Structure 1
Amino acid sequence: MKPVVKEYQNEDLLKNDVNDLQARGVSPEDIYVLSHDDERTNRVADVSNASTIGLNEMGLDTAVGNLFMKKGDELRNKIQEVGFSSQEAEVYEEKLDEGKILLFVTDHQKASDWRL
C-alpha cells in the first residue's frame, strides 16, 4: 500500500500536521519528509520530529547508487523506495523542483482518517 502524501510550501504547517499525526499515535518512523535540498530536508525533519528516507528505507545498493546520481534521479529513487511507481515518482519529483516539501506517512491505519 502506498504512503499517504501531502505537499507543503510552509514548514510550520508541515510541523503542525506532524504533531497532529503523532498525537494520533503515528510513530516518527512512519513519517517522512523530503525536499529538493538535503539540508532543508534534514532541518525540517529535525524540527518536526519526523524521519528522512535513508539507508533503512532504501537499502545499501540504492543508497550507494544515489551517491553517483543526479539530484532528480536520487529523489525519484527515494520516492520509489517508499512505495510509488516510477511515473508517480516523476510527478512528485516535479513538485520538489517547485520548492515544495513532501510528507509521506506509511502508517495507513492511523493516517487513514487524517485530513489532507
Structure 2
Amino acid sequence: MNTVKICENGIQAKEVINQLTAEGYDKENIYLFAHGEEREKDLTEALDTGEVGVAEQGLVNSVTNIFRKRGDELRSEFEAVGLSKAEAEKYEKVLDGGEIVLVAKKH
C-alpha cells in the first residue's frame, strides 16, 4: 500500500515526512520526487529520504533512465515504487507545476 502526498515546498515536505514517520513509515521507504533533478537530489539528501535506484527499478530500467527525457524517467520511477501507469502520469503532471510528490511504502 502506497501513500502519496503533494507538497508545495521543502518545508512542507519535511513536515509531511515527519508525519509519515510518526505513522510508522521508515524514511528509506519514503521517496521524494521533484521535476528538477538537482532539486530532487538536494531535497532527498537534506530530508534523508529513500532514493529510487537499482533495487526499486532493476538494472535495465536504471540504465535506460539515463537516456530518457525527465518526464519519462519520473514516470518510470513512480512505477518502480508501486504506482500504476495512470498514477505515474497524474503525478508527473503535478511535478510539472513545480510541486513535490512524496510516495511512502509500508513493508
**What TM-score do you get using the length of structure 1 for normalisation?**
0.84
**Percent identity of paired positions between Structure 1 and Structure 2:** 39
Secondary structure of the residue aligned to 1:69 is coil
Secondary structure of the residue aligned to 2:68 is coil
Shift of residue 102, structure 1, vs aligned partner: 0.5
List runs of 5+ in structure 1 lacking aligned partners: 109-116
State how far apart, in whole Å, the 2-side matches of 1:20 and 1:85 are.
24
Equivalence map 1:1-116=2 (5 Å): 1=1, 3-107=2-106
State how far apart, in whole Å, the 1-side matches of 2:83 and 2:24 are.
24
State how far apart, in whole Å, the 1-side matches of 2:14 and 2:83 are.
23
Shift of residue 57, structure 1, vs aligned partner: 0.9
The structure having more radius of gyration, on CA atoms, is 1
Asked if the contact 1:19–1:48 (Cα under 8 Å) also holds between the matched residues in 2, the reply is no
Equivalences, count: 107
Letter in 1 for 2:100: I
Letter in 1 for 2:15: N
Shift of residue 68, structure 1, vs aligned partner: 1.1
Larger mean CA deviation between 71-80 and 22-31 belongs to 22-31
Secondary structure of the residue aligned to 1:50 is coil
State how far apart, in whole Å, the 2-side matches of 1:47 and 1:93 are.
22
Asked if the contact 1:15–1:47 (Cα under 8 Å) also holds between the matched residues in 2, the reply is no
**What TM-score do you get using the length of structure 2 for normalisation?**
0.90
